[in-house]
Structures are given as C-alpha cells and as structure tokens.
Amino acid sequence: MKKRITGYLRRIDMLLETAGPDTDWEHEKSEHLRQISFFMHERLIHLIVTALFAVLTFLVFLALMNSCSWVLTALFVSLLVLLVPYIMHYYLLENSVQKMYEQYDRMCEAEQKSRHD
C-alpha cells in the first residue's frame, strides 16, 4: 500500500507540474476523487485496527502490572511490535490523504487557470 500511495502522489505531482492546456481536468479530478475515497476507506480501516491494538496493548499492560507473568510479557511485547508498524502505516495514510486534498485544490486552480487562458 505504501508503494501504491507514494507512487500515485508522485504521479499527480508530476501531472500538476507538467500539465498542458489540453489536460482533461474534469477526468483527472474525477479520478483523483475516486482515489481519495479508496485511501480514505483504507485510512478508516487502519484507524479502527490501530485503535483496537492500542486498547488491547493497554489492557495487557494493566494485566501485566497486576500479575507479572511470562505469557503476559510475551503478549505485551508482541502487541507493541505490531502496534508500531500500524501507527507508522496510519501516519502515512493520514498524511497522504491530506496531501491529496491539497493536490485536488491545486487541480481546481489549474483548471480555472486553463479556462481563463
């Protein structure tokens, strides 16, 4: 997913830099909105999963404070190992979708500019 979203962001940045007067902004904006909706859905799913992992990790931590056992310690460490990449991936999704909003605004500006030229 990281490769897909970063590649897509680069493609749109290149389009915005090199777009000519014959660019079909309606099509590009429509496609961009569709991609935004895909990534927003992915972002929501990862938010739910990350929040559940965080809550589970916290609950295991509380249980570990009450009864120190190797099983709980192993479970806590395992959850932390999984939680960190989930947070990093959610961070990527969140920032990428925010950038896509900015790109959409730039597309609208480019479309307006091409209409006036």
Mean pLDDT (whole number) for 13-20: 90
Residue 102: pLDDT above 80?
yes
Q: Which of 54, 58, 56, 35 is nearest to 46 (CA)?
A: 54
Mean pLDDT (whole number) for 56-80: 93
- Residue 58, C-beta contacts closer than 8 angstroms, at least 6 positions apart: none
The pLDDT of residue 19: 84
Mean pLDDT (whole number) for 32-50: 94
Residue 116: pLDDT above 90?
no
